[in-house]
Amino acid sequence: MRYWVALLLAGILVTGSVGNEPTGKRRTKLDPATHWRPPIQADAQTLEVLRRINSVDAYEVPDLGLRKDENYAFTAEKVKPFGYVEPFKRHFLEQMEYTGPGRAKPEPDHVDTVKIGFIGPIMSTVSVATGGKSHEEPMGIKMLQGVRLAIEEANASGGYLRRKIPFQLVVSNDNGLWGASGNEIVKMAYKDKVWAILGTIDGANSHIAIRVALKAEIVMMNSGDTDPTFIETNIPWVFRCMGDDRQMGYLLVDYMYHRLGLKRVGIIRASNRYGRFGVREIRDGSRRLGRPVVLEMAYKVGAEDYSLQLERLNRAGVDAVVHWGDASDGAHILNQMRKMGMDQPFFACDRCLLEEFVEIAGPNAEGVVCTSPWNPARTDPKYVAFRGRFRKRFGEDPETYAAHGYDGMNMLIWAIQMAGLNRAKIRDVLAHRAEPWPGVTGDIPLSACLDDLGEVFLAKRENGRWNYYSREELELPPRYVPLRDRVKRGAPALSAR
C-alpha cells in the first residue's frame, strides 16, 4: 500500500515535467534523482523507477520491487515436468536483478549519435547449426527492415530527444561460423559502444550473444529466436519480445489432443538446434498428457529427399505429422507426403507461415495448421497504421520477423529515451515496466524472466489464406489457471473434446 502511495506521490510530483534538457555538449550537472526529466511521457511507475535508479551510487542497489510469477510460463498443471512431485527448487519465478555498479556511470559528454546494435542473419555465410550454408537470411533481412523502420521513425521524431541527436543502427551479420557472433557482440559492446543490442534468430548464436552481453553488461533484446531455453539462463540483461516455442507448443498440444482428439502424433524436424529444442514441449507435453509422440525423425536442413523419414512415420501409423524446421523444408516435406499418399493432418512451426512455404507447397498448403507468435490479421489501428508505413517504406507487408523487430527496437528506443545513455538504467526501465509493451504485434507482457508471455495463435490455411485463432476462439482451456481460481471454479476439463 505504502509503495503505491509513494508511486502516486511521485507521479503527482513529476506530472507535467516532461521536457527536454538544454541542448549542447556541456550540460549543467544536476542531481539526477530530482532533476532527471524524461523527454517523453512517462507513467508513474516508470518515473518512480527512474527516481530510484538515479538515487543510487555505484555500490547501492535500488529497490525496484522484483516481479514474482506464481507459475513458470503459464505452464498448465498437466504438462508440468514431473508434475506428480513438488520440485526441491523452482527457477525463473522471481525476477533477476542487476547488482553491479553500472548505474553510476555518467552519461558521456560527447556523443554524436546514439548507437544501437543489430545482429541478425542478413548475409549468406556458414551456419554452425547446419554445418553448411546458412539458411535464415530471409528472416534476418525482414527483421532488419522492421528495425530500420523503427530507427527511421524515431529519428524523424527528433532522435534522442535529450540531446537532439539521431539514433544510429550498427548492423552486424549473424555469422555462425565458429561462433563468430560472439566476436560481433564484443565489437559492438566495446568498440562501437552501442547502448543496447537487438538480435538474433539462430538459437546457438543467440545464446552466445547473451553470454557476452552478461559479461559486457548490455541489454540484449531478442525478437526472433523462439528457442525456450534462450531466456532460461538467469541473465538479468536479456529480454525477448516474441512468444516462444514453449508457448506455441503448449497451444498446439492442446489443439491436437483436446480439440482434435489425435492419439498418434509423429514429428519430423530439422536436425539443428531450432528443430531439436522447438519440438521439446510438444514431445514432453504429449507424453505428459498420456499420448506420447509415436516417432520423431530428424532431417538434414535443405535435404531434397525426406522419403526415409516419411516412410517410417507412415509405417508407425501416425495420425498427424508435426514439422519443425524452415519453410522450404516444410513445404517439400508436405509435398512429398501427399505424393506418397500420406493424407494425415500437417502441423508446423511459425517459420512455415513465410510466403516461401505456400509458394512451394501450392494447393497442398490448404488445411495446414501453423503456430504463430502473433496475429497479423488483426485490424487494430496501431497495427494497421504500422502495416501502412511498412508497405510505404519497403513495398511489401511486414511479416513476423519484421513486426517483432520493429517492436523490439521500439522498446529499446523507449528505454533509452527514458533512462538516458546508461546501459544499466536502460535495462532497469525495461525490466520494471508496469504495463505490457503496446506493440504492433499485440501486447507484450514480460514474465519474471523477461520473456514475452503474450498470447500466441494457431494459423489455419483456409480457402487460400491464413486465418488466425486464439486459444479462446479454439475453445481450448486456459493456459494456466491460478490456484485461487481453481479453488473457486475447479480446474478446466482437459478431456478430449
Partner 1 sequence: MSNQQSLCRSPIALGTAIVLAIGWGLPAVAAEGLPYVYTDWKHFTVKDGLPNDHVFAVRVDGPRVWIGTEDGLACLDKRTGRIRSWKEKDGLPWRVVSGLDVDPKTGDLWIALFGGGLARFSGGRFDHWHQLNSGLVNDVVYGVAVENNNVWAATTAGASRYNTVTGEWTIFTEKNAPMEEIWNYAVTYADGKIYLGVWGSGVLEFDVATERWKDYLDPDREMEIDLYRDDGIVHVITTGTSFVDGILWVSSYFGMSRYDGRHWRGFYAHETGLPSDFGNAVKGRSATEAWFATDKGVGVLTDFATDTWVTYTMEPKTHKGRAVVSRGTKVLKVVDMERCLPHNYALWVEFDGNDVWVGTSKGLGWASGPDYYPGLKVEPIAGEEGESKNAARLAAAEAMKQSGVSSEDRPQ
Residue 126 near partner 1 by CB under 8 A: no
Q: Looking at beta carbons only, is 89 or 315 nearer to partner 1?
A: 89
Out of 36, 72, 237, 357, the residue judged to bind partner 1 by CB under 8 A: 72
User: Which residue matches cell numbers 532460461?
Assistant: 232
Q: DSSP states of 3-43 as a string?
A: HHHHHHHHHHHHTT---PPP-SSS-----HHHH---SS---
Residue 321 near partner 1 by CB under 8 A: no
Helix (H) or strand (E) holding 400: helix 400-419
Give which of 482, 479, 478, 477 is closest to 495, Cα–Cα. Answer: 477
Residue 274 near partner 1 by CB under 8 A: no
CB of 48 to partner 1, least distance (A): 20
Per-position x/- string for 43-62, each x denoting binding to partner 1 as judged by CB under 8 A, each - no binding: -------------xxxxxx-
Take residue 404 and report the three cell numbers written for it. Answer: 517483432
DSSP E strand stretches across 244-305: 265-270, 295-299
Instruction: Give the Cα separation of 321 and 125 in Å (integer).
Output: 31
CB of 354 to partner 1, least distance (A): 27
Residue 210 and residue 451 in contact, taking contact as beta carbons nearer than 8 Å? no
Q: Looking at beta carbons only, is 20 or 183 nearer to partner 1?
A: 183
CB of 68 to partner 1, least distance (A): 14
CB of 57 to partner 1, least distance (A): 8
CB of 445 to partner 1, least distance (A): 18
Quick count: other Cβ atoms within 10 Å of Cβ 42?
22
Residue 33 near partner 1 by CB under 8 A: no
Count CA atoms within 13 Å of residue 413 on its CB side: 29
Out of 16, 31, 41, 85, the residue judged to bind partner 1 by CB under 8 A: 85
Residue 289 near partner 1 by CB under 8 A: no
Geometric angle at alpha carbon 226, from 232 and 218, rounded to 5°: 60
Q: Please choose, out of 11-19, 145-153, 231-239, 249-257, the segment that lies near partner 1 by the rule CB under 8 A.
A: 231-239
Q: How far is CA 170 from CA 39, 215, 218, 404, in A?
A: 24, 20, 15, 18
Instruction: Give the Cα separation of 343 and 325 in Å (integer).
Output: 20
Helices 2-14 and 44-53 cross at an angle (nearest 10°) of 90
CB of 39 to partner 1, least distance (A): 30
CB of 455 to partner 1, least distance (A): 21
Q: Please choose, out of 46-54, 87-95, 106-114, 451-459, the segment that lies near partner 1 by the rule CB under 8 A.
A: 87-95
Residue 132 near partner 1 by CB under 8 A: no
- Considering only residues 354 to 373 of the shown chain, the ones binding partner 1 according to CB under 8 A are none
CB of 344 to partner 1, least distance (A): 30
- Considering only residues 176 to 215 of the shown chain, the ones binding partner 1 according to CB under 8 A are 178-180, 182-183, 186-187, 190, 204, 207-208, 211-212, 215
Instruction: Give the Cα separation of 427 and 116 in Å (integer).
Output: 14
Instruction: Give the Cα separation of 240 and 221 in Å (integer).
Output: 6
> Chain centroid to CA 133: how far?
25
Q: Looking at beta carbons only, is 191 or 392 nearer to partner 1?
A: 191
Q: Please choose, out of 30-38, 88-96, 302-310, 314-322, the segment that lies near partner 1 by the rule CB under 8 A.
A: 88-96
Q: Which residues bind partner 1 (CB under 8 A)?
A: 56-61, 72-73, 81-82, 85, 87-92, 96, 99-101, 128, 178-180, 182-183, 186-187, 190, 204, 207-208, 211-212, 215, 228-229, 232-235
